Amino acid sequence: MERIMEPVVVPDQGIWHPCSAQIFETASEYKAWYEDVHAPLAGIARDAPTIGVVLQKSHIATKDDGHYVAMVQEFERRGAKVVCVYTGGLDFSAPVKQYLASPGTGEGAVDVLVNLTGFSLVGGPASQDAKAAKEVLTRFNRPYLVSVPLVFQSISEWQESEL
């Protein structure tokens, strides 16, 4: 007789890494695991640049995460540390502020921020709050890269655009 597994509850917001079975709910827990366990095994230097990556909870919860796994693996293969944050809502600035920014100042605790959600930092497919996103990113004060425009453009169109 087959046994049905107990459901796994994925927190609405957290820090995810494909090599960990757990979702981290604090930056300090993740940093301890990453620096003491994962980075040494992966050959990543303690002083390596750190890339913050913004993800969608839906891909993590459904394990439709191959594109996320590939990005993390490639960043790490090139020697960078990676911190992937996600939320179930459409305000992706919330996990950025909670996990990737310095408390008090809001300045980035990572060297660059990459958005892989396909959405604005604040808002979903039908709307966005550019003013709120700009405020967060101005305080964050780090390069902000959005990968999705590249999906809908040729390389020459991208090079000619202001993105």
The per-residue pLDDT string of the chain (163 residues; one tens digit each, 9 = 90 and over) reads 789 989 888 999 999 999 999 999 999 999 999 999 999 999 999 999 999 999 999 999 999 999 999 999 999 999 999 999 999 999 999 999 999 999 989 999 999 999 999 888 998 777 788 899 999 999 999 999 987 765 566 778 878 877 5
Radius of gyration of the chain, Cα coordinates, nearest whole angstrom: 17
* CATH architecture, range 13-160: 3-Layer(aba) Sandwich (3.40)
Q: What is the pLDDT of residue 160?
A: 85
Which candidate, 85, 69, 82, places its Cα nearest to that of 121? 85
Of 98, 16, 114, 102, nearest in space to 62 by CA: 16
- Residue identified by tokens 């990968």 is 147
> Alpha-carbon distance 106 to 116, whole Å?
21
Do 68 and 60 meet the contact criterion of CB atoms below 8 Å apart?
yes
